[in-house]
Amino acid sequence: MSNFTEMDSYLFGQATHYEIYEKLGAHVCKKDGKKGVIFDLWAPHAKQVFVIGQFNDWNETSHEMEKLGADKNGIFELFIEGVKEESLYKYLIITEDGRKLYKADPYASYAELRPGTASAVYDTSNFKWTDKRWMNARAKKTEEDVYKEPIAIYECHPGSWTRHPGRNDDGFYTYEELAKKLVPYVKEMGYTHIELMGIAEYPYDGSWGYQVTGYYAPTSRYGKPDEFAAFVNECHKEGIGVILDWVPAHFPKDAHGLAEFDGEPLYEYPDPRKGEHSDWGTKIFNYEKNEIKNFLIGSALMWVEKYHVDGLRVDAVASMLYLDYGKQNGDWVPNKFGGNKNLEAVEFFKHINTVVLGRNHGTLMIAEESTAWPKVTGKAIDDGLNFTYKWNMGWMHDFLDYMKLDPYFRKNNHNKMTFAMSYNESEKYILVLSHDEVVHLKCSMINKMPGYEVDKFKNLMAGYAFMMGHPGKKLLFMGQEFAQLQEWSEKRELDWYLLENPKHKYMQDWVKALLHLYQENKSMYELDHSWKGFEWINANDADRSIYSFVRRSEDGKNNMLFVINFTPMERIDYRVGVPEKKTYKLVLNSDSTRFGGDAANKKTSYKAEEKECDKKRYSFAYPLPAYGVAIFKF
C-alpha cells in the first residue's frame, strides 16, 4: 500500500494538508517487517525520478521511483530497505526532454553542510521535549493576552554572535553551545524573545539565510535537527520565546534547489514577469497553485508545532503583496482587475495566518511590511491579512533620521519623533532597529550618532530610552546593546572585547536596565495599541528638543513619566507638567554613575505642586542634564 494516499493527494491539492511534511520527503519506517526509508516526491512534470545517495554509491539507475496513479497528483514513491539515518541523498529527475536534474529534497528534515548540497535522512520524531509547562501556558493565551504581554526581541544571527577562534570549520557555535551561552545572556539582559536569522537551510552564507533551499530543515551549520529542538527546549526552560525569520517571498536559483524543479516552473510562477525578482536574482513562489501554498503553510506549521517555535517573522511581505514591487513598467503583469495587488498572495496570507494562529494560540505571526498596506494586523474577516504584529518601519526611518541629526537641527525636525503616534492605533506594531539598519555602509547604531565620542554614547542612550518608552513592542539587533562600533558582518563575531571599555559596558548596562524596567512595569507594554496607555505631556518642545510623556497601565498603578533631552544643553531649571498631584519617584536616570554619569543630582523623589506647566495644573522641577533621560514612577 502506498504511503501517499488518495486523501493525502486531495488535501494537498486543496492546500489543506497541514502535516504534509509527514508524508512528502524521506521517512524512516518499516515495510513488510523491513526497516528502511520511504521517499515521496512531488514532481508532476518529471518523466522519471531516481533516488541516489550514499546507500547506493550514488548509482543513477539502481533505485527508480514509482509514479503513483493519476489521482495522486504527480507523486513519485520508493521504499528502500536498510538506508541509515543521516545518509545523504538526492533525487535524479529525468525531464520530458531528457535532461538530468540533481535536486535536493524540498521536504528534507536535514541537509549536508554547505558547500555540499545533498539532503540527509533524519528521524525528527525521537526528541523528548520537556517544555510542557511553557507550551501549556502558551496554548492558554488569548489574542488579548498576547497583545498585553511584554515583547522585547533580541534579533540574532547565530553564526556571527560569537565564534570559536582558530577553528577551521568557521568556528560556529553549535545549537548546544548557543543554548549554554546565548540563552543565559538574553535572559540576563531582560529580553523576552530571541529572533533567529538563517535557521531554515540555505546554501550561501552571504544571503544571511534569506535565500532558502530547505524550508523544512534546520541548518546543519550549527548541528542536527534534534540539537536545534534542544535549543528551543532550553529557551522555554529559561522563559525565553523563540521567533524564526521565515521567507515565503522568494527562493534562489541554485541548481539543487526549487527553481524549475522538475524541468519546468513548478514552485515559481511560469511567467517570468510574475515569477522572478530580477533585482534579487531569485524566483517568486506561485501563490495561485494550491500545492505551493501547502508547501509553505506546512513549513510554517512544522516550525511552530514540531519544533515548538513561538512565532515567525515573515520576510519581505511587501514584495509579495505588490506585483510591481521592484519592477519597471512592462516587467510586471497586472491582476485581473488591472491593479498591482497580488490577489493570490493576499489570500495566502489570510489562509496561513488564520491556520497558524488558530491552531496554535499564543503564537506570533509578524509581518516585515514596509508600505502603507491597510489592515496588515486586521482580521481576515474584515479583509485584513491577520498578522499578529507589523514591523513599524515608518517609526524606524523617522527615528533614525532624527537621531543622525546634529542637535542644532533637531528643533526643525521635532515631529519625526512624534508622528508615529498619529497612526499608532491603525496596526499592532513592533518598533525595530534591525540588522538591515547596521549593514551596507549604513553604520552601526553608535556611529550613526552625531558629535564627539562622548556625545555619541549619550545620544544613543537617549534614543534607546525613547524607543523603550514609546508604544509598541521592541526589537534590537545583536551588538547594538553594547554599541558595536563596526557594521555587522556575517563573516565575523561581534566585537565583545569592547566591553572592556567602560563606555561600552555602561551602554550595555543601560540597555539592560531599560529592558528590566520594561518587563517589570505593565504601563510600558499593556496598552501599547491604545491612547489609554499613552499621553504626551509636551510633544511640542521643539526649541529645546525635549520630549515628555506618560505611559499608563490598565489598573492605573505604576504609571511612568519619561523626560528625554536630545541636546547637549543642560536644563538646571527644567520643569515638567504632570497629570496628578502625586509623588514622582525617579527610577532610572541616565546621569547615574552606574551608566557613566556624575550623578550630581541625588534626589529620587519629587512631589508635584500646584503650578501650571505644559498646560497641566501640576508640575515639579528637576535638573535635566545634557542628553539626560529621567524616568519616574507614580
In whole angstroms, what is the distance from residue 313 CA to residue 242 CA?
Answer: 11
Cell of 347: 489570500
CB atoms inside a 10 Å sphere around CB 341: 15
The reply to whether 368 belongs to the active site is: yes
Rounded Cα distance, 346 and 574, in Å: 51
Q: Is 437 helix (H, G, I), strand (E, B) or coil?
A: helix
Task: For residue 131, give the C-alpha cell.
Answer: 517544555
CA distance 634 to 631: 10
Instruction: Name the one residue in this structure whose C-alpha cell is 540539537.
Output: 227
Q: Name the burial class of residue 201, with classes exposed (0-12), middle (13-18) and buried (19+) by CB atoms within 10 angstroms of its CB.
A: buried
Q: Are 499 and 482 in contact (CB under 8 A)?
A: yes
Ranges of H-type helices in 316-389: 317-321, 343-359
Q: Kindly report the number of other CB atoms within 10 A of residue 2's CB atom.
A: 16
Cell digits for 346? 493576499
3-state SS assignment for residue 521: coil
For residue 302, give the amino acid letter. M
Closest CA to 226 of 85, 90, 32, 369: 85
Q: How many CA atoms lie within 13 A of 127 on its CB side?
A: 19
The residue with cell 539587533 is: 477
Residue 120, helix vs strand vs coil:
strand
Instruction: At 172, list the grid cell.
Output: 560556529
* Burial (0-12, 13-18, 19+ Cβ within 10 Å), 455: middle
Hunting for cell 542644532 — which residue is that? Answer: 408
Question: Is the CB of residue 179 less than 8 Å from the CB of residue 228?
Answer: no
Q: Which residues contact 596 (CB under 8 A, 6 or more apart)?
A: 457, 502, 503, 506
Instruction: Name the residue among 454, 515, 519, 524 with its Cα closest to residue 481.
Output: 515
Q: 37, 220, 49: which is closest to 118 by C-alpha? A: 220
Could you say which of 105, 201, 315, 528 is catalytic? 315
* Residue 490 CA, distance from chain mean position: 17
Active-site residue, from 112, 155, 310, 368: 368
Instruction: Name the grid cell of 177.
Output: 553551545
Q: How far apart are CA 242 and CA 155, in angstroms?
A: 10
SS3 577: strand
Which residues make Cβ contacts (< 8 Å) with residue 516, sequence separation at least 6? 190
Please list, in sequence order, all residues whose beta carbon lies within 8 angstroms of the beta carbon of residue 57, skipping any fewer than 6 positions away.
none
Helices marked H in 238-382 — which ranges? Answer: 272-275, 290-301, 317-321, 343-359
Q: Residues with Cβ < 8 Å from 462, sequence gap 6 or more?
A: 564, 565, 566, 590, 627, 628, 629
Concatenating the DSSP letter of every residue in 47-64 gives SEEEEEEGGGTT-SSS-B
* Sequence-distant (≥ 6) Cβ neighbours of residue 317 within 8 angstroms: 249, 349, 367, 368, 369, 376
Q: What is the CA radius of gyration of the chain?
A: 27
What is the set of active-site residues?
315, 368
